[in-house]
Amino acid sequence: MVTPVQLSIPTELDMQALGRDLARLARPGDLIILDGPLGAGKTLPTQGIGAGLTVNGAIISPTFVIARIHRSLVAGPDLIHVDAYRLGEAALLDDLDLEALMPGAVTVIEWGKGLAEQLSADHLLVEIARSDDPLDDTRLVTVSPRGPRWDNLWDQWQSLVNDDMGRDAQADARGDEDD
Ligand SMILES: Nc1ncnc2c1ncn2[C@@H]1O[C@H](COP(=O)(O)OP(=O)(O)OP(=O)(O)O)[C@@H](O)[C@H]1O
Ligand SMILES: [Mg+2]
């Protein structure tokens, strides 16, 4: 089994860059589940995924809209962006009938942990936590592959993160620190 990667993400721009890295690996039919408390920074990587895929429309945390489809501008996969905060139960996620749309899109579900796994056994779970220090904006992000699709991408993902973000994700995962 592949070990989750833990990252320290200092800024909003780095969080969007994480999303762009994910977009480079994502294929139609993929599901990415984002978790973390209000204001953790779930929409920022979603924006990066949208930018990486090149889709239309502004990607925002919808207040009343539960799901939005951002169409590809480059004949690639669309982005389905779901905010499950108000859904509360998996049955309501079923009512959105995403299954019909998902094969042509990359689906990102904020607040999806515990609800969205039913949509695809193969998915990537991205958990975002704030630092314990309220003055520190750094986010601690744990990226966990679920199922063979993401297990098989794991080496590629690690080298993308290392190259593009200048981080040693494996060192982070071991909890190493520069002294
Ligand atoms: N390192 C960082 N990573 C992510 N967001 C950061 C960081 N530093 C500061 N922020 C701020 O935290 C907020 C995160 O907002 P965002 O809408 O992405 O969170 P969210 O988890 O989607 O919230 P919601 O649960 O309301 O949808 C933004 O105001 C952003 O500017
Ligand atoms: Mg959000």
CA of 101 to the centre of ligand 1 (A): 27
CB of 54 closer than 8 Å to CB of 73: yes
pTM: 0.90
Kindly report which listed range (32-41, 92-101, 165-174) carries the lowest average pLDDT score. Answer: 165-174
Q: What whole-number distance in Å separates Cα of residue 17 and Cα of residue 23?
A: 10
CB of residue 109 inside a 6 A radius of ligand 1: no
The distance from CA 49 to its chain's CA centroid, rounded to whole angstroms, is: 8
What residue segments make up the domains of the chain, in order of their start? 5-164
> Does residue 39 register a pLDDT over 50?
yes
Token reading at 102: 């998902």
CB of 55 closer than 8 Å to CB of 5: no
Q: Could you report the per-residue pLDDT of 84-114, keeping only the tens digit for each?
A: 988 877 777 888 889 999 999 999 999 999 9
Question: Relative to the CA of 40, which ligand 1 atom is closest?
Answer: 21
Q: Which architecture, in CATH terms, is 5-164?
A: 3-Layer(aba) Sandwich (3.40)
Query: pLDDT category, 1, cuts 50, 70, 90?
Result: low
**Contacting residues for 16 by C-beta, under 8 A, at least 6 apart:** 44, 45, 47, 48, 51
